[in-house]
Chain A
Amino acid sequence: MPARDRIYIQKILFAAACLLAGTAAPSHATQAHGGMEGIIAHQAGHLFFMISMATFAYWLRERGATEQKGWRYIFYAALFFALWNLDVILVHLLDEQLMAVEVQKAGLDLIQKQLMGGKAAGTLNYIIKSDSRFLAKIYFLAKHDHLLCVPPMIFFYLGLRRLLADSEAETSGASS
């Protein structure tokens, strides 16, 4: 391969790496994707996921699938996932879109600072800054989102296990 071509290919690979790393240089030929676009895409994803889970739950009920224990567990999982999406949409809306709340560290934890060799370290004490105390409380509660996304995983697991057990029972019943 000629040296000139090799340099050309190396340039392309470098440009691709920069693009992947999110450090691409401004381009005049393509649309830039900076600013609020990331959070809007993420929120749209959550909305899409929430609608799909709600639709899935509705549809499972309509089809009578929830009469089977396995699918009933999956129905509960879908409902919880929809709720979880609602919860995280609210969190993202408050702190990243509306900027209605802001979380700040309350101060440096001296012990941790010593442990980390004088480097500024994290602390467990935070201040939630908001014009509304109610919104601040809601935000704090909504930040415990794993309380809504772990249960659906458990329900989903139980549902799958039940469907597997039913399928095995059916197979052994058919073969006996």
Chain B
Amino acid sequence: MSISWFSVIFVDIAGSLLMIILSFMCMNVAVKLRRKDLTDVMWVYLLWFSLALTVFAVSRSAGHLIKQLLLFSGNREVWMVLRPYSGAINTIAFIVAAAVTFFSDQIWKINLQTLKDKRELQKAHGELLFLNENLEKRVAQRTEALMRAAEQKMQMEKNMAQTEKLAAIGELSAGVAHEINNPLGVILGYNQLLLREAEKGTEQHGDLKTIEKHVKHVRTIVSDLLNFSRNSRTKRGAADIHDIADEVIGFIRTHMGAGDIEVKRDYDRNLPELPLDRDKIKQVFVNLLMNARHAMGGSGTLTVATAPAEGGDHALIKVSDTGTGIKAENLTRIFDPFFTTKPTGEGTGLGLSVSYGIIRNHDGDITVESTPGEGTVFTITLPLEPRKWEEK
């Protein structure tokens, strides 16, 4: 079969040139890929494969080009000498490419493991970096928490000391009050008999009235002492704190007179009923409202506010006034028994002590904030759910 060999020679020459050019282009990209990530073994494989392909392409294509040139120029014998070398080199080159390829599966597996390890290492590195960067912040947080715990401990110790003090005073005053109460009753009884016989407007009547006034004051003190010392059982039942507050506000207005005092109510009506001893909480309100009224003199604003506490398991009751306020040095002593800033004969110094005891018995707390000249805020915290009251 006679045939033109032109297409064979053309494809051979053009293909050989393209093979050489493309193999070097592949090598160039493979080197870049390898440099991009030296730890990726798949890029090592591709670099080796590209290298083997380049050796193969150059040896084979150069061989083919030289062959065509030599045959075309009639130097067949020269080609016959070169031919085995060209053939041997390109045979070795594609065997190397094939051999390298047979390891690619293992290389892929190794690479997957390497990449996995690398990712884990990067993750650990990131975590370490995060910890390192946040160490200072965490130390500050922990320090703050420790300081809070220390403050709480101090507060607890203070409360314990206060409770012990109250218990000791209560025990003492209970005995004293009991002994004084009976003679007082006798004195008051005889004084009233004498008052009936004494003519009004006389000096004797005035003296007897003075005796009566002071005996009644002593009786009030004794009564407060008994209230303070009486360790009566707290009888709690569900009660609306707003009803109790309204009742006491009404009582104060009716019996004591409110003057120009404006009473504001800022109630959160969503608060549920609380487990309270109604009478005792009423006594707390009486004490706080009376103190507020006294601090404001004839005019001012008295505010009673309720709200849920942060966390949602307690209720907050705030009684604030715009009165004279309490001096800083007195703030720490106002819950002490018999401490009063009122003039002699006007206060027993037991109201806030009694209130403190009642609130503590309700598993609650009472605190005070005051700015002299601006006013005072008493904050009562009471639990929404009974915790220990059934055990008491």
Residues of A bordering B, CB below 8 Å: 22, 38, 41-42, 45-46, 48-49, 51-53, 55-56, 59, 63, 65, 103, 106, 112, 116, 119-122, 124-130, 133, 136-137, 140, 143-147, 149-150, 153-154, 156-157, 160-161, 163-164, 167-168, 171
Q: Which of B20-28, B135-143, B290-298, B373-381 forms part of the interface with chain A?
A: B20-28
Q: A125-B2, A147-B11, A156-B50 are in contact. List 12 more A-B contacts (CB 8 A).
A: A65-B108, A116-B73, A126-B3, A126-B5, A133-B1, A140-B1, A140-B3, A143-B8, A144-B7, A145-B15, A163-B33, A164-B32
Q: How far is the CB of B30 from chain A (nearest CB, A)?
A: 6
Taking CB atoms, residues of chain B closer than 8 Å to A125 are 2-5
Taking CB atoms, residues of chain B closer than 8 Å to A55 are 101-102
Interface size class of B (residues with CB under 8 A): 35 or more
Q: How far is the CB of B195 from chain A (nearest CB, A)?
A: 98
Taking CB atoms, residues of chain A closer than 8 Å to B19 are 146, 149-150, 153
Taking CB atoms, residues of chain A closer than 8 Å to B99 are 48, 52
B:1-58 near A, CB below 8 Å: 1-9, 11-12, 14-16, 18-19, 22-23, 25-26, 29-30, 32-33, 36-37, 46, 50, 53, 57
Identify the closest chain B residue to A85 (Cβ): B94
- Which 8 pairs from chain A and chain B are nearest by CB? A146-B15, A52-B98, A153-B22, A160-B29, A122-B72, A49-B98, A52-B101, A121-B74
Cα(A122)–Cα(B5), bound, Å: 11
Q: By DSSP majority rule, is chain A's interface helix, strand, loop, or mixed?
A: helix
Cα(A41)–Cα(B29), bound, Å: 32
The answer, among B33, B53, B104, B108, for a CB contact under 8 Å with A153, is: B53
Taking CB atoms, residues of chain A closer than 8 Å to B71 are 122
The answer, among B1, B7, B25, B32, for a CB contact under 8 Å with A127, is: B1
Q: By DSSP majority rule, is chain B's interface helix, strand, loop, or mixed?
A: helix
User: Chain B CB within 10 Å — which of A55, A120, A128, A149 has the most?
Assistant: A149
Residues of B bordering A, CB below 8 Å: 1-9, 11-12, 14-16, 18-19, 22-23, 25-26, 29-30, 32-33, 36-37, 46, 50, 53, 57, 71-74, 84, 87-88, 91-92, 94-95, 97-99, 101-102, 104-105, 108
The answer, among A42, A59, A164, for a CB contact under 8 Å with B104, is: A59
User: A106 with B22: in contact, given A46-B94, A149-B15, A160-B33 (CB under 8 Å)?
Assistant: no
Cα(A126)–Cα(B97), bound, Å: 34
Taking CB atoms, residues of chain B closer than 8 Å to A143 are 8
User: A146 with B11: in contact, given A49-B97, A52-B98, A167-B36 (CB under 8 Å)?
Assistant: yes
The answer, among B1, B11, B73, B101, for a CB contact under 8 Å with A121, is: B73
Q: How far is the CB of A41 from chain B (nearest CB, A)?
A: 6
Q: Is the CB of A45 within 8 A of B4?
A: no
Cα(A150)–Cα(B88), bound, Å: 21
